[in-house]
Structure 1
Amino acid sequence: MSDTKGTPANTTEGGRTLPIWLVGIAVVLVAVNLRPGASSVGPVLAELQAALDLDATAAGVLTALPGLTFAVVGALAVALSRKTGINGAIVLALGAVAAGLLARALAGSAVLFLMLTVLAFAGMAVGNILVPAFIKRHGGRRLALLNSVYGTTLALGASLPLLLGGVLAGSGPAGWRLSLGVWGAAALAAFMFWAVLALRTGRDPVAAGGPRAAKRTRMRSSRTAVALSIFFGVQSMHAYVQFGWAAQIYRDAGLEQAHAGLMAAIIAGLGIPGGLIMPVLVARSPRLRTYIVGLGVCMAAGYSGLLLAADTLPWLWALFLGVGGFAFPAALALITARSREPRVTAQLSGFIQPVGYLLAAMGPFAIGALHDLSGSWTLPLALLIASAAVMVGAGIRAAAPRFVDDELQAVPKRPVIGS
């Protein structure tokens, strides 16, 4: 069904329309709340440790929680959506985010703080998996635009706490609580909006039911799905390694703390234009695989610069790594571009993202351990350069113009024993 301008209408159960502007607002409100729970801790970590007597081990666990929780809970998101629909599951997710972030800002012990953080991250994990399916369900001909909005807002949501955290924390003795709690208030506002939206649209039949031909256990039979999971996983590992270690690599090369932090901010900040650019290229460019190769070359060039002359042109290496990070919005856009049905989109997302975030949790630890064992950054950076080639190989396969739906249907069904 289309409107008078030829743009497909965004329909919900019962034939009611969901205007594209409303879909856009919904995507912005959920996306901007999927990262602050993780990125807001860094600027106030010292104050947090002092107030809650959080030792170094607990702080290390806290930094690993996003990737681990996203991996474990994300694998359950599709099952939840079958019971509640996509919209209902996102409402529950935002409720968990809001409750966890608001309550942890008032926590008086390290254990309670960690438990509430897990609750918030669990909600973010569900959102990570299901927002691409919501976009696929309601995007119509504006799919590339909504993917751009989603990727850009994710990057913005990760960056805002880094920019505002120090300012909010300086408001008083308990400023760190305000610095953390404000993001819970933002999630609460999004929860209320989405609750009204879910009441209007009703239960989403696409997520809740449908044929069982594309169950998550069969996603491994799709070469595109496997390639996309490797592509998403390796780029996630690179992203979290850069978040955790880029500034320290620069400092070890001789840069001052503020200068090193600026370089890390450049790397992270380039995710915003990347979120605008890559979904459009994924949707429209016939040379997508060439761009994937280019992203890998940029990533390898950035790590090579850090290895050979980190303090010579530090901004150039940060620029290369930031552009290489465009692989993240490319991977998100490919989830919707390489699937036809929203149900398959949700299952594809639930297949690849847990793999990615598991690598994201393991990557920083592995790189840190290699640095401790070798006593330098040579071996870790060499490994990162090599893994960029793996990312490119998987990305080339994932970027091929094929649909996961078709590959799943082409797999012969196993005979039922005894039939």
Structure 2
Amino acid sequence: MPFWLIAAAVVLVAVNLRPGASSVGPVLAELQAGLGLDATAAGVLTALPGLTFAAVGALAVALSRKAGINGSIVLALAAVAGGLLVRAFVDSAVLFLVLTVLAFAGMAVGNILVPAFIKRHGGRHLPVLNSVYGTTLALGATLPLLFGGILAGTDAEGWRLSLGLWGAAALGACIFWAVLTLRTGRDPVAAVGGGRRTRTRMRSSRTAVALSIFFGVQSMHAYVQFGWMAQIYRDAGLEQATAGLMAAIIAGLGIPGGLIMPVLVARSPRLRFYIAGLGVCMVAGYSGLLLIPDTLPWLWAVFLGVAGFAFPTALALITARSREPQVTAQLSGFIQPVGYLLAATGPFAIGALHELSGSWTLPISLLIASSVIMVGAGIRAAAPRYVDDELEAQNAR
């Protein structure tokens, strides 16, 4: 398969793995009013990405044994497109949540299997494809935050257009991948392993466990920011479009992060120092939001955006800390469900704490504290060890 086709396939799937989650934040207030969602239900909505990614992601490797990686990604994109398109037109809060789960289920499968696709086809271009993947994920998260408020402002029902647009984008990607699969076949690289035995084996790898914690905590922060950051800025006095722009800055900085961090993961011996620096930026950004959110709001957004470089770092570590493609698939299938289960608690807890306390002080303070856990796990995961070797050593005992 030519490199340009591989890169195009990665771009088209990656750009559709985040808008379903990030498109809600800028129109959360309008969505609540339109569907009659209370604050608790809104908190459930912001927690759904992590919950669904954890529940469905664990099944992705098993699905790939039946349909192959390519076929599974086609099915995933079909679920994303169907869920996002239809939910934009419903008036029932329950049906909206069900369709959202369907879309997130598709994203969960893509999250697990795209790293294995990259490992299988990357070759000498592996760092480049990791950069392409991480950058495009960030782009997909940023665009809804950047344009969501603008699209929603067209009329009272503008939030439907703001949400539905991303379903149409996923439909286009699904068609591309369907044609690709018909031309190239199933690509059964992930058909090795999976199931309870794989998860048990992965728990014996300290690198895999540390990486799952690092991935989980940074994912928790990312989905808290997708779901609540625009509202935090709005509550601080910023207008809807400006608040959406601040959230877009946070997500948008993942674009250069996606370019930079995979290269550092592949080549830099000082990766652990960079991870510690990301933790410092996270503390600085949340501290600014806690103390003076309406003073230099863009600066706090920049700090949090740079801290978000942890996400492409975690993704690159999945391929960098595994030797064989099947181990990459298994590692991805272990890390992401475990990580997203942890991430799922964040948005819901933040919403509940805000409702109980009546302010953002306690939620943001807890986010600051959790950055220490993220840095500790990241430093451990960054150590130059391979999960394959740790599993072999465990089997030899």
TM > 0.5: yes
Structure with the greater relative contact order (CA < 8 A, sep ≥ 6): 1 or 2?
2
CA 92–246 in structure 1, closer or farther in 2 if over 3 Å, else same: closer
**Residue of structure 2 aligned with 1:165, choices 136, 142, 148:** 148
Contact between 2:48 and 2:101, CA under 8 Å: does it hold in 1?
Answer: yes
- Pairs aligned (count): 397
- Show structure 2 runs of 5+ residues with no match: none
2:350 paired residue number: 367
Which runs of structure 2 are paired with 1:20-59 in the superposition (5 Å)?
20-59=3-42
Shift of 1:373: 5.1
Q: Which has the higher helix share?
A: 2
CA 50–402 in structure 1, closer or farther in 2 if over 3 Å, else same: same
Separation (CA, whole Å) in 2 of partners of 1:252 and 1:367: 14
Separation (CA, whole Å) in 2 of partners of 1:138 and 1:175: 41
Contact between 1:214 and 1:405, CA under 8 Å: does it hold in 2?
Answer: no
CA 316–46 in structure 1, closer or farther in 2 if over 3 Å, else same: closer
Contact between 1:214 and 1:408, CA under 8 Å: does it hold in 2?
Answer: no
Shift of 1:258: 5.3
User: Which is worse superposed, 372-381 or 24-33?
Assistant: 372-381
| CA offsets 1:343-391 (integer angstroms, 9 cap, x no match) | 1111111111112222222112323444555565444433323321211
**1:288 and 2:261 matched:** no
**Residue of structure 2 aligned with 1:382, choices 353, 358, 365:** 365
**1:298 and 2:281 matched:** yes
**Residue of structure 1 aligned with 2:202, choices 219, 226, 248:** 219
Please give the secondary structure, in 2, of the residue aligned with 1:340: coil
Contact between 2:61 and 2:194, CA under 8 Å: does it hold in 1?
Answer: no
Counterpart residue type for residue 288 of structure 2: G
2:61 paired residue number: 78
Separation (CA, whole Å) in 2 of partners of 1:197 and 1:256: 44
CA 217–66 in structure 1, closer or farther in 2 if over 3 Å, else same: same
1:278 paired residue number: 261
CA 46–381 in structure 1, closer or farther in 2 if over 3 Å, else same: closer
**Residue of structure 2 aligned with 1:156, choices 134, 139, 142:** 139
2:126 paired residue number: 143
- Show structure 1 runs of 5+ residues with no match: 1-17, 415-419
**Residue of structure 2 aligned with 1:405, choices 382, 385, 388:** 388
Contact between 1:31 and 1:154, CA under 8 Å: does it hold in 2?
Answer: yes
Separation (CA, whole Å) in 2 of partners of 1:241 and 1:38: 10
Contact between 1:279 and 1:333, CA under 8 Å: does it hold in 2?
Answer: yes
Counterpart residue type for residue 198 of structure 1: T
1:5 paired residue number: none
CA 341–111 in structure 1, closer or farther in 2 if over 3 Å, else same: same
Shift of 1:248: 4.7
Shift of 1:309: 3.9
Compute the TM-score of the two structures, normalised by the length of structure 1: 0.86
Which runs of structure 2 are paired with 1:323-402 in the superposition (5 Å)?
323-371=306-354, 377-402=360-385
**Residue of structure 1 aligned with 2:302, choices 289, 297, 319:** 319
Compute the TM-score of the two structures, normalised by the length of structure 2: 0.91
**1:269 and 2:244 matched:** no
> What do you get for the CA RMSD once the two structures are aligned?
2.6
Which runs of structure 2 are paired with 1:67-106 in the superposition (5 Å)?
67-106=50-89
**Residue of structure 2 aligned with 1:194, choices 147, 153, 177:** 177
2:97 paired residue number: 114
